[in-house]
Amino acid sequence: MTVKNTLQAMVLAAALTAPSTLMAQKVKAPAGGKQISKELIGIFFEDISYSADGGLYAELVENGSFEYNPTERDGWAPGTGWKQVRPGHSLGMMQVRMDNPIHPNNPTYMRLHTERVKEYYDYAGWKGFGLENGGFDGIAVKAGAKYDFSVFFRNFGEGKQVRVVLGVPQGWGKDPKVLAEATLDVNGEAWKKYEAVLTASEDCANAILQMLVLNQGDLDVDMVSLMPEDTYKGHGLRKDLAEALEGLQPKFMRFPGGCVVHGGGDGFWDTYRWKTTIGPKEQRRGIKNTWGYHQSMGLGYYEYFQFCEDLGMEPLPILPCGVSCQGTNGGWGMKNQAQDVVPMSEMDEWVDEALDLIEWANGDVNTKWGKKRAEQGHPKPFNLKYLGIGNEERISPEFEERFKYMYKKVMEKYPDIVIVGTAGPGSHKGNPDFDNGWRIAEETGLPILDEHYYEPRDYFLNNQDNYDKYPRGRKTKVYLGEYAAKDKKMADALYEALYLLGVERNGDVVAMTSYAPLFAKKNHMSWNPDLIYFDNTSVVLTCSYYVQQMFGTTPGDYYYGDVATFEGGDKFQGTSTVLNTEKGELYIKLVNAAEDAKTATIDLSRFKGIPAKAQLTTISAPSLDTENNFDAQPVAPSDKEIKVSKKMTFTAEPRSANVIRLKLK
């Protein structure tokens, strides 16, 4: 093993198994256990099914930068999401412009030419000419809540007043009911940001936002924003969705994809480039999303890293490596899946993306990219440990050449960064991509390899021993980065739970896992199933969510395989016992996917300080076909206190996942 790989292995081992340096071990692990990863449960965020704009990113205005266009979706244009309004028979014209924009990354804006702001007779109603936005399926506001409105204007001629109204539509020909309003005085012939705070007077699920120019003349408009003040830790993320992720207690977050990483199949022009997602929002470059809509990049790399810090997660950014996704534009159905590749003569540009990202995340304020991070509001480094190169590309000779080149260059400058590679799509033994991915990992000494697979629920039931079969002592650890049973019923969740017991049992081989996809918005779903469903006012936590939560909230650094055993058990039952030496807690997990109750024997004799009572958390359902949806969420964990003894029995309810949490004395 080279010095570089030795250092990587030391960093990885410390990250995955060692207790926090801030807190000494509370208990000593007794004999009979094995060290496992403490980062087994994380999350994978991809902007799919409107997960970012209209979802986790709390912005309420759709297409506020007027950058929608037909390359993203047929029929789209800069005015998509907007409509012209002229109350009081006011007259005017809106015009799409691209000359002298705020910033080259944000080239499109709207010019409002106002000719008349009231009728010739005394009109008692509203007046003005302007624009109306209905948000992402409506703008949801709450009574008493404050919303920060901002916009960039460029005025021509005499100063103008612009009335900003948050209102409830009342039907054709009627003025909206006012929920909040403000009037802005606009002056100057240069782009300038204007702001106001709007306080909603009542709840409304389908509010609209209007901007009405009250004077004749021309006015340029761009970057219209309406952001709730009450966001997660004040950092611009929708609070209820962020709190749902907080409830999983994830140890890391992989982002920004997924297939989003390497472009939408139209060429490398729309590949995700992290450098254009940081800095002021008006200077970021929105691009076509792989899943057929627009990414504003309001949720960019700075926000991703900040969110990781807020939740105590390790950031795991994934960068492209000069190879396109072979599955775009119908590629998955092609016999010979095509890949566009960057010429090797241009690969240093993509290498620099990685090197500069590490400097941006970890460099001090005197470095070029560390200074940019500090200027955005974070002078302290983010302490990036992990970096992914590539996302489930077909492991072609072209991919191998570019991956190895990029990996070598990154390791030469940053040997302590733990690189995550890819085993391609359909990561099962015998798949050429999977086999070549592992060959490359072994040739390079790669620390972690990312496996992906989506399978019917029976796969997870019948392959609980999958990682039992992996070679021991191999340098490369497994990251199960994308997986899910192909439905969202209780049966799928329980079979995933049984599979996770096997993953935990092999926590010396598997370093990390993340269910995928994470989010999906109602009526905008590009994939099914997903872990969390939502609309503008509600969140649906699936059965699988609660399984992920059960494992995410009970991480251990030592595994014991002979503590709990089901009597007469079969593949529908499974157990796992893990010890968290830092917290001084023991977790006994028992899953029963059968239609009748099953009893397990538990022997805690080896552990010291067993308490008299423990907390039992149970996830159960009346049927294996039960699922949580927008109409009802019948599945949720229940907690109760139970008595504990050194030797005891436990009866698991039918169709249930259980964890006994013991706080050792």
Instruction: List, by residue number, the catalytic residues.
Output: 392
| CA neighbours closer than 13 Å in the CB half-sphere of residue 421 | 32
Please tell me whether residue 440 adopts helix, strand or coil conformation: helix
CB proximity list for 330: less than 8 A, separation 6 or greater: none
Q: Which residues pair with 479 in a beta bridge?
A: 450, 512
Q: Report the alpha-carbon distance of residue 55 to residue 265 in Å, rounded.
A: 24
Cα 516 → chain centroid = 9
Over 242-301, what HEC string results?
Answer: HHHHHCCCCCEEEECCCHHHHCCCCCHHHCCCHHHHCCCHHHCCCEECCCCCEECCCCCH
DSSP H/E element including 433: helix 432-444
625, with CB counted inside 10 A (0-12, 13-18, 19+), is exposed
Q: At what angle do helices 347-362 and 397-413 cross, to 10 degrees?
A: 40
Q: Which tokens is 51 given? A: 């997960």
Q: At what angle do helices 490-505 and 543-552 cross, to 10 degrees?
A: 20
What is the per-residue DSSP string for 334-360? -SS----B--GGGHHHHHHHHHHHHHH
Q: Where are the alpha helices (DSSP H) in 528-568?
A: 543-552
Tally Cβ neighbours within 10 Å of residue 662.
Answer: 21
Q: Report the alpha-carbon distance of residue 55 to residue 287 in Å, rounded.
A: 17
Q: Phi, psi at residue 100, to the nearest 5°? A: 50, 60
**What's 196's DSSP letter?**
E
Q: Report the alpha-carbon distance of residue 205 to residue 141 in Å, rounded.
A: 6
Q: Report the alpha-carbon distance of residue 478 to residue 474 in Å, rounded.
A: 10
Q: Which tokens is 299 given? A: 């949720």
The answer to whether 328 and 259 are in contact (CB under 8 A) is: yes
Q: Report the alpha-carbon distance of residue 267 to residue 403 in Å, rounded.
A: 19
What is the per-residue DSSP string for 137-189? TSEEE-TT-EEEEEEEEEE-SS-EEEEEEEEE---TTSPPEEEEEEEEEE--S
Please tell me whether residue 632 adopts helix, strand or coil conformation: coil
Q: What share of the chain is helix, strand, coil (3-state, %, to 5)?
A: 25, 30, 45
- Give the total residue count for the chain: 665
Q: Report the alpha-carbon distance of residue 260 to residue 275 in Å, rounded.
A: 15
Q: Report the alpha-carbon distance of residue 362 to residue 373 in Å, rounded.
A: 9
Q: Which tokens is 45 given? A: 């965020």
